[in-house]
Amino acid sequence: MNKSDLVSAIADHSDLSKADATRALEATTRAITGALAKGDSVAITGFGSFLVRARAARSGRNPQTGATIQIKASNAPAFKASKVLKGACN
């Protein structure tokens, strides 16, 4: 499912036009992105939690040359599915 399929599904399941569904989806993703950028987590009951995980600095290898390189520490977005979502998938 891509973004346009998701917008169509949102419009079909609610009484929204596709334009309104698009704006709702974009507002949701902006809100989640903004919260994660601040370091907050976002929990949607029955769906899951979006959070930021810290990645430690580590050494890696350049695949072209095989040389060892240092990879900087970073923050990465993560998603943890709820029990309800996991149960729906199984």
Residue 47 has a pLDDT of: 96
Class of the CATH-defined domain 3-89? few secondary structures
Tens of pLDDT, residues 29-52? 999 999 999 999 999 999 999 999
* Cα gap 8→19, rounded to integer Å: 10
* Residue 50: count of CB within 10 angstroms of its CB: 18
Predicted TM-score (pTM) of this structure = 0.82
Is there a contact between 36 and 77 (Cβ–Cβ < 8 Å)?
Answer: yes
Give the three-state DSSP class for 3: helix
How many Cα atoms sit within 13 Å of 60 on the Cβ side?
10
Tens of pLDDT, residues 45-90? 999 999 999 999 999 999 999 999 999 999 999 999 999 999 999 9
